[in-house]
Amino acid sequence: MDKLVPGFLDRINMRLRSRSSNGRIPLTVRERFVYNTPKDFLPETPASDVEEAIRRTQDFLLGIQKPDGHWAGELEADSTLTADYILLMHLLAASGGEVNPVQQRKAANYVLSKQLPDGGWNIYANGPSEVSASVKAYFALRLAGYSPDEPLMEKARECILWLGGVMKCNAFAKIYLSIFRQLDPKWAPAIPVEMMLLPTILPFNVYEISYWSRCIVIPLAIVQARDYTVDVGLNIDELYVGPREDSKDDIERERPAITWYNFFITIDSLSKRYQRRPVRFLREIAVGKATHWVLSRLEKSAGLGAIWPGIINTIFALKALGYPNDHPEVKRQLREVELLKIEEEDSLRMQPCTSPVWDTGWAVIALHDSGLPRNHPGLLKAAKWLLGKEVRNYGDWRVKNPNVEPSGWYFEYACEWFPDTDDSAVVLMALQRTALLETGARKEEALLRGTKWLLGMQGRDGGWGAFDKDNDKKFLNHIPFADFGAILDPSTGDVAGRCLDWFGRVGFDMHHRAVANAVGFLKKEQERDGSWFGRWGTNYIYGTWSVLSGLASVGEDMEKDYIKRAAAWLKSVQLPGGGWGERCTSYHDPSFKGKGPATPSQTAWALMGLLAAGEVESHAVEKGIRHLISTQKDDGTWDEDEWNATGFPMFFYLEYHLYRNYFPLMALSRYRNLRRRKLGGKVE
């Protein structure tokens, strides 16, 4: 096993204790192999086949690298975003703008292309029709000029009514419908803007909800405070199961009466009454504070939170505040909308955000694992680009973590208010794999700051959330506007595993307090069958790989029972053809965990999990490697028809288009590297 530069752990601990220390992260840390290989290991897959597969994907990834050194694959989401784009055009048209007929037609074409045979729309590939997505799609098509009497619209209406109609939509869909006068506001959850006035010492304030929730609800609170609505000249009353005026709120109190759910239903009811007769001076102070919060977070960011709902809700809020369409702030957000657009000859779709930092970090890791030297021009350009994305300003994370120097990396092209631990760990691992050259001192300082920041973001439970520390007050899940199931950002196994993966690479082991606490957290989070839940990737296959990789990196004994149970679970869900697959269905019903058609992403994750667990010699690994090689295309890529990630479990899913390529490259390369080591070959 390659050794780390001696004394690193002592130096970094000294640096953590004393600001005046001159300790430095070592300029060169060689590849640390943490995987166990059996003594009698004998490879079965021909080495030439593995090498050829690796070379093809290397060539592909290097061929799509951007001139400035980064990678950015498409980030695909469901049709609701493109439907929202049509709604946005009509909102702007209502205040003096014009609907671009070409853009609307292309967007409508895309929405129509996603309609299912039963008439509805789903929220992940090959999933069932979902009511909120279907209502949004139908409404957008009505705005785009489609008559309710057209066969495709009749079919959609039948499906929506079968699903329960408008009143079964989720909270944010209802709020949108109320803005466009398709739903009485009394049936939409209230978001009182006065919550901006609550001090952080209280158990509920805006910093006790996740970063993405803040970016979604604070602009909508402004909209509701100003009672802002838009008349679009049509209605979708045909989507109500009964007469619209007779609709009843489907949110009812539970029994027994004293529950958090009932408490927040009561608060919601009182908030709606207050919305009609607010205390004016308090409301104006709260609106002012909310407006300042939004506008300040547009700086050094690709829109509010650099995410689609934050951007579009900000436009809604600016319009509610009276900003004209040609106001610089409105135009700036519309430019961000344009940057998320993917336009083709006769179709247009919207991305939820971009993923360049994430994609670049993983691409560097995969290419270095595949054999590219640390001073390869492509890796050096990528490292320089990544170094330029380090956060050096305080963001919202500081509210709960005031004593840590700013650092970390975000996900998108610009989002300085909201760096995240997952991206930061990946970027640190990528930077460590590159040579220093002229960026030596700068890189060393970034590695040290990033390590300190990650340690400071560890939660009291031993794990890591993505964007905030200890964002885990479960009672807040009962807030009516939080029915999308992700109002919090608690510690998760996949993010904790990623952080351990980095700490292990720079010498932190099982004796370090942060590591010991994290391992304790992961043991508590393990499922009975041995798997781990995947918050950000689909799903238990992703979570199990992330955890096993992190545990191996920090030197956990991979012969322990809980590790063996995890490996056994991975082997138990392998498909007969050698691959692995898991649909987003497992988020809705855990009985579907590890079940689905094989995908290159999930096959790679399973393989890397098994390699980390010491299963290199197993029949499962050999079958998986052969599956990846046999399904690779001539250009070095793979096809993937299933979705591989999640924004909000059970509500919003994603497909990272580059996962299908750089993760298989990592799996093939790590398998090849282990084989070389066993046979006495040198691995750089």
Q: Catalogue the active-site residues.
A: 422
Q: Is 327 exposed, middle or buried (0-12, 13-18, 19+ CB in 10 A)?
A: middle
3-state SS, 362-393, equals: HHHHHHHHCCCCCCCHHHHHHHHHHHCCCCCC
**Strand, helix or coil at 47?**
helix
- Taking alpha carbons only, the member of 198, 234, 191, 180 closest to residue 213 is 191
Q: Specify the DSSP element, H or E, that contains 350.
A: strand 348-350
3-state SS, 462-479, equals: CCCCCCCCCECCHHHHHC
Q: Output the CA–CA distances (angstroms, integers) from residue 433 to 364, 487, 584, in the order listed.
A: 8, 36, 33
Give the type of residue at 618: S
d(CA 581, CA 575): 8
Give the type of residue at 197: L
Instruction: Give residues with Cβ within 8 angstroms of 658, minimum separation 6.
Output: 71, 73, 359, 362, 363
Q: Output the CA–CA distances (angstroms, integers) from residue 148 to 48, 158, 239, 253, in the order listed.
A: 59, 11, 10, 36
Give the type of residue at 189: P
Beta partners for 342? 349
d(CA 82, CA 104): 10
d(CA 82, CA 84): 5
Please provide the distance, in angstroms rounded to a whole number, between the alpha carbons at the two ends of the chain: 12
Check if the beta carbon of residue 428 is closer than 8 Å to that of residue 376. Answer: no
Residue identified by tokens 């009812």 is 252
d(CA 312, CA 219): 9
Check if the beta carbon of residue 571 is closer than 8 Å to that of residue 597. Answer: no
Check if the beta carbon of residue 464 is closer than 8 Å to that of residue 500. Answer: no
Check if the beta carbon of residue 377 is closer than 8 Å to that of residue 354. Answer: no
Binning the chain into helix, strand and coil, the percentages to the nearest 5 are: 50, 5, 45
The answer to whether the bond into 256 is cis (omega within 30° of 0) is yes
Beta partners for 343? 348
Q: Which two tokens stand for residue 397?
A: 């994370």
Alpha-carbon torsion (409, 415, 421, 425), positive or negative: negative
DSSP 189: P
Q: Output the CA–CA distances (angstroms, integers) from residue 527 to 113, 231, 499, 552, 631, in the order listed.
A: 38, 50, 20, 19, 31
Give the type of residue at 530: G
Q: Specify the DSSP element, H or E, that contains 648.
A: strand 645-648
Q: Output the CA–CA distances (angstroms, integers) from residue 92 to 88, 101, 174, 300, 302, in the order listed.
A: 6, 14, 20, 25, 20
Beta partners for 656? 75
Check if the beta carbon of residue 400 is closer than 8 Å to that of residue 207. Answer: yes
Q: Which two tokens stand for residue 142?
A: 């009505």
**Strand, helix or coil at 652?**
strand
Q: What number of other Cβ atoms are within 10 A of residue 459's Cβ? A: 21
Q: Specify the DSSP element, H or E, that contains 272.
A: helix 260-276
